[in-house]
Amino acid sequence: MEAVRANLGGFEVKICGWVQYLNLFGVAIGYTIASSISMMAIKRSNCFHASRGKNPCHMNSNPYMIGFGIAEIIFSQIPDFDQLWWLSIVAAVMSFTYSTIGLGLGIAKVAENGKIRGSLTGISVGTVTQTQKIWRSFQALGDMAFAYSYSLILIEIQDTLKAPPSESKTMSKATLLSVGVTTLFYMLCGCMGYAAFGDLSPGNLLTGFGFYNPFWLLDIANAAIVIHLVGAYQVYCQPLFAFIEKSAAKRFPDSEFITKDIKIPIPGFRPYNLNLFRLVWRTIFVMLTTLISMLLPFFNDIVGLLGAIGFWPLTVYFPVEMYISQNKIAKWSTRWLCLQILSIACLSITIAAAAGSIAGVILDLKSYKPFSTAY
């Protein structure tokens, strides 16, 4: 918001704020759903193994979402964004762990099959209808947009960096490296997963039970996903926490409930600063995201919708407009036209992805009962 205010100003600042914070709220819901699916996958994989595939091992997702919520209430009491560095490193290591396991299992399955399944045109019409295929293709665009959604918190991360070298140079190197590595992993996992299962590819490679064995390796991968999401939830929610807390302190500067820190001594460590407003508001936030997750447990469709909503405004429109404003690029010049074409093309992708995801959610709601989703 501050970057948009400095470069563009006006009503666009409010639009940026609404889109960013609504998306961060949505990401928290998406991560709660994803973590519960992985926790259930561990339980189901062990159940399948114990019954040798005879028991369908159905289970309710609610206890797992509540468990994840309790963990997030504890971690959400970390006061500031810059104190999350250790949690972020753990999350990154876990991300490499489950991505490598997923890739390895995909390669092993292709070798076992002795052929590459699937086709260049995707899922066969017949397995799904032509209309379903179109909607799912649109939804997949949203899933891809969500996979690169870190622009939501890029400036907040940059704000925690030390200088020299300049923050923007460090962030440019980090962005280039992270986009390169994640794209490599996304392409390898996606392509090998599809090559392994073809039309029967699950929505989630590690929890869709295309793989049943080795069950212990699947357990390690899903545990890594849960640990990663515990950290990622905090990294994405901290900017929203900070915004609400700063706004409350500005609005009610004399309220001790909002501004006073109570020092709690911890033997061997620095005292912990307990703020009552932070404790209450962050706990309510986590409880609310957990409750909504229990009401809307459709992972792929929700992720696609979130990706669609946040992608164009925050990853394309505002950065492009700020770049034009900063560099004083003349209207109707070649560079200005190219940037606008890029922006419009990405807007059309966003609209298609949102439409596909909404269609998916509507389809899910037809067979849905609140608080009783079982897998």
Q: Residue 300: pLDDT band by 50, 70, 90 thresholds?
A: low
Look at the chain and report how many structural domains it folds into.
1
- Residue 210 has a pLDDT of 61
Q: How many CB atoms lie under 10 A from the CB of residue 91? A: 20
pTM: 0.82
- Residue 281 has a pLDDT of 92
Average pLDDT of every residue of the chain: 84
- Residue 370 has a pLDDT of 65
Q: Residue 53: pLDDT band by 50, 70, 90 thresholds?
A: low
Please check whether residue 72 lies inside any domain of the structure: yes
What are the distances in angstroms from CA 82 to CA 10, 79, 88, 119, 159? 30, 9, 10, 46, 9
Query: What number is the average pLDDT over the span 137-157?
Result: 79
Residue (of 114, 106, 89) closest to 217 by Cα position: 106
**Per-residue model confidence as pLDDT tens digits over 213-227:** 777 888 888 899 999
Tell the residue number behind the tokens 């925690």, with chain if given. Answer: 160
Task: Give yes or no for a contact between 272 and 79, defined as CB atoms under 8 angstroms apart.
Answer: no
Element (H, E) at 264: strand 261-264
> How many whole angstroms from its chain centre is CA 326?
30
**Per-residue model confidence as pLDDT tens digits over 69-104:** 999 999 888 877 677 778 878 888 898 898 888 888
- Residue 368 has a pLDDT of 67
Please check whether residue 38 lies inside any domain of the structure: yes
- Residue 359 has a pLDDT of 80
Residue (of 300, 310, 235) closest to 85 by Cα position: 235
Angle at 179 between CA 2 and CA 205, to 5 degrees: 115
- Residue 333 has a pLDDT of 92
Please check whether residue 100 lies inside any domain of the structure: yes
**Per-residue model confidence as pLDDT tens digits over 117-138:** 888 888 888 888 888 888 888 8
* Residue 272 three-state SS: strand
Please check whether residue 35 lies inside any domain of the structure: yes
Please check whether residue 93 lies inside any domain of the structure: yes
Give yes or no for residue 373 having a pLDDT over 70.
no
Dist. CA 250–CA 244, nearest whole Å: 10
| DSSP assignment of 210-256 | S--SSHHHHHHHHHHHHHHHHHHHHHHHHHHHHHHHHHHHHH-TT-H
Amino acid found at 205: L
Tell the residue number behind the tokens 């929505």, with chain if given. Answer: 203
Task: Give yes or no for a contact between 137 and 122, defined as CB atoms under 8 angstroms apart.
Answer: yes
Please check whether residue 13 lies inside any domain of the structure: yes
Its domain, for residue 33, covers 1-118+150-296
Q: Residue 197: pLDDT band by 50, 70, 90 thresholds?
A: confident
Please check whether residue 14 lies inside any domain of the structure: yes
Please check whether residue 204 lies inside any domain of the structure: yes
